[in-house]
Chains A and B, each alone.
Chain A
């Protein structure tokens, strides 16, 4: 593949190929990896257009065209999970990004190197906890007799314990909070790295011009890390619909099901529990297509605004 492409454009002869044979061999592995693990599984998308039955197999199942998609978009439950997924995705993206940038800047302002390092290390530890643990902690602390209610009661903020998980209106924020708690430290690392790469002479010049701390942050740090922020945002927008599955699945209950279920849970429910692999696949395709569209759109907008872009 590379050979034909390279011949047309760059006129690379056999000698060049021979010289780069090691690189070619190495890259061949990655191409093979990509084909086997990313492109071949896509044949499974066929299922969405068939009435798939495991015993009949992918090629033996009857073809039904777009029926599954028709059902999908007439199902109120599916429209609801799109809304939930999208809202939670946006909320998560906004809160985690803002918090990570804020945290990175604050951390950068700490002069004491030891303090800075220890805070950073501690803050990204939650990233390594699995969701089931985090949800367990959340479940305990948010229950009527949990620590949060305990504190609220003792400080007289409320006079009756609030059962947070029983209120649909809190659910998205609880999920966003959980994400922020778990990922802020980890996400801040990349912003911190990009802050360190800002030329120190800029700060010196600003000091000489009489800029205070806040002004330095506003005029040097933030513009300095702007390309990083934009690139990460574009990448994460593509992930908006991957808002997850574990938190919502584990935290959800009958009362909040109308706001807690995401596309992934819908796919699980139909695909695995109800044995309708076709419908599950259709929902999955929808999710992938929307994600690709989002990322292209975002990239295009960034290009238009004259900012960094991904491709």
Chain B
């Protein structure tokens, strides 16, 4: 067949059409440099999503060239959510989940990116980075919290404590309360003096993994810091079990007698976390042991706006007066190496993702994340100090502000403490001016009565106990397929069952003996031996 000129022209035309239709398809795959990249992230905690057209998110994107859509835990537990994601095999670009994801080969090593990007490199010290190396020698996650380059004065005790409502202290004339005995005596006296108010003396949160509020106070009462799953005796450098100490026995004996007097909320042991929070939200619960972040943030609005002395302050409680407390450990000292932000194997542009994290740590973006835009979200006074005018203060507390304007990327790495100007906190909530403006009257009054300025002053602060701290980062990462992990899990289940029974028991001594028999039958020494080995490893490596 002979090609006529016409057919050739036709073919050429067709070819051109083809080229022009296909070409844009190829080019569109390549993101132009000025276009904003979009990442996805999943965090294994409950959180609130921010709107995709969040204003500060766009501001941050102007600087970093990227934004991130964050999703949070809903309904499932952390482990369930992670395993579901692993089983389905569609990982987001960023994820938080630690050891389990590493074992499933779902994470990429970050070492090269840490070397490449300066803000990441200086984010932690060389030693701290080394402490994050996994068994294969690489770093897979970046811790997000408690990292300050220039520490600022700590204002809030964001950790665990015996809390009490200010009205109780006020009524009693702000007495010194230093022991468990005095604490429950105070509650008892208050309830006896106000029989008609229907107050709940002491509530204990026992719901699932949150059950540490029930089981871990004995470690603090003996004057040890929150190693979480064991006590570290610094004299002998040995791991000790806080469940079986005389202090533990004494603490639960006091709880038992308080329960019999009707001071302990009897629904504690069957309530869910949300029922517990509802109870706190009525202002009727006089005291409890809890982590600040667990009860304060969900009820922040209520605490800030309600009068009548329903706000909680921490008390420096131990088992007896001669034991100094270690409820508060200076943050910045606590580096939780068990968890952090990771980049997954499914992330298409890991380099850009690492750059995004790097950019988020720059001071410019840190200000956008935690302060906003000068003149809009915050103001600067003549001394260069950041503060919020009343109007700005009101605005930033509104719900639509939180959804449509604030963009903290709160589970991405952040730098706490002071900025390089040496006077302003990088995070607004750590700025003294903002903190004192927001402090409710009853709390101010209480602080004044005890000669304190901040929550931390109520307890006193402690330095980092040692390079091993906190030991819970190890027990948290134990899998149930190891012996020690299995024992640890059985111990937790046993405690969740027996401690409420012991507290409610008519015959405390007999119940305690029985509890101890069952406890020892689990061979807890298997767990503590593993903890001892880890302790020695951490001491030898000597990371800080």
Contact = CB atoms under 8 A, between A and B. Distances in A.
Contacts of B462: none
Interface in B99-119: 100, 104-106
A254 B83 contact: no
A166 B86 contact: no
A232 B498 CA distance: 41
A160 B501 CA distance: 18
Interface in B200-248: 206-207, 211
A240 interface: no
A191 to B, nearest CB: 36
A273 B82 CA distance: 8
Interface in A253-290: 253-255, 257-258, 268, 270-277
B266 A144 contact: yes
A254 B206 contact: yes
B136 to A, nearest CB: 15
A253 B207 contact: yes
B306 interface: no
A241 interface: no
Contact of B106 (A55, A144, A268): A55
A196 to B, nearest CB: 43
A143 interface: yes
B77 A273 contact: yes
A272 B79 CA distance: 7
Contacts of B479: 274-275
A163 B500 CA distance: 12
Contacts of A276: 480-481
A163 B267 contact: yes
B162 interface: no
Given A253-B206, A255-B497, A163 B104 contact: no
Contacts of B195: none
Contact of A272 (B83, B105, B504): B83
Given A55-B106, A163-B266, A254-B206, A272 B80 contact: yes
Contacts of A60: none
A139 B83 CA distance: 30
B260 to A, nearest CB: 12
B84 interface: yes
A54 B87 contact: yes
A163 B270 contact: yes
Contacts of B206: 253-254
B360 interface: no
Nearest to A268: B80
B270 A166 contact: yes
Given A274-B479, A276-B481, A54 B89 contact: yes
B504 A166 contact: yes
A292 B20 CA distance: 63
A300 interface: no
Contacts of A55: 86, 104-106
A255 B83 contact: no
Nearest to B105: A55
Given A55-B104, A257-B493, A166 B269 contact: yes
A273 B496 contact: no
Interface string A23-60: 00000000000000000000000000000011100000
Contact of A166 (B207, B211, B481, B500): B500
B420 to A, nearest CB: 43
Contact of B100 (A139, A143, A275, A277): A275
Interface in A113-169: 139, 143-145, 161, 163, 165-166
A267 to B, nearest CB: 12
Nearest to A140: B275
A145 B275 CA distance: 13
A140 to B, nearest CB: 9
Contacts of A268: 80
A274 B207 CA distance: 19
B311 to A, nearest CB: 25
A268 B207 CA distance: 18
A127 B86 CA distance: 35
Nearest to A145: B267
A239 to B, nearest CB: 25
Contact of A275 (B86, B105, B211, B504): B86
B89 A257 contact: no
Contact of B80 (A163, A165, A257, A273): A273
Contacts of A53: 104
A165 B269 CA distance: 9
A255 B501 contact: yes
B267 A257 contact: no
B88 to A, nearest CB: 9
Among A54, A139, A258, A276, the one with the most B-chain Cβ atoms within 10 Å of its Cβ is A54
A166 B497 CA distance: 10
Given A143-B267, A254-B269, A255-B270, A275 B493 contact: no
A211 B497 CA distance: 57
A253 B207 CA distance: 7
Nearest to B80: A272
Contacts of A257: 493, 496-497
Contacts of A166: 266, 269-270, 500, 504
Nearest to B106: A55
Contacts of B104: 53-55, 275
Contacts of B496: 254-255, 257
Interface string A164-180: 01100000000000000
B493 A165 contact: no
B68 to A, nearest CB: 25
A268 B84 CA distance: 11
A56 to B, nearest CB: 9
B266 A273 contact: no
A253 to B, nearest CB: 5
A160 to B, nearest CB: 10
B297 to A, nearest CB: 24
Nearest to B500: A255
Nearest to A253: B270
Contacts of A253: 206-207, 269-270
A253 B275 CA distance: 13
Nearest to A163: B266
B270 A143 contact: yes
A258 B77 CA distance: 21
Nearest to B493: A257
A163 B267 CA distance: 7
Contacts of A161: 266
9 contacts: A55-B86, A166-B270, A255-B270, A270-B480, A272-B79, A274-B480, A275-B83, A275-B100, A276-B480
Given A55-B104, A166-B266, A254-B211, 19 more contacts: A54-B104, A55-B86, A55-B105, A55-B106, A139-B270, A139-B272, A163-B269, A253-B206, A253-B270, A254-B206, A254-B269, A254-B497, A255-B496, A255-B497, A272-B79, A274-B479, A275-B79, A275-B83, A275-B104
Q: Across the A-B interface, give the 9 residue pairs with the lowest CB-CB distance, nearest first.
A: A254-B496, A273-B79, A165-B270, A274-B480, A272-B80, A54-B86, A255-B500, A253-B270, A55-B105
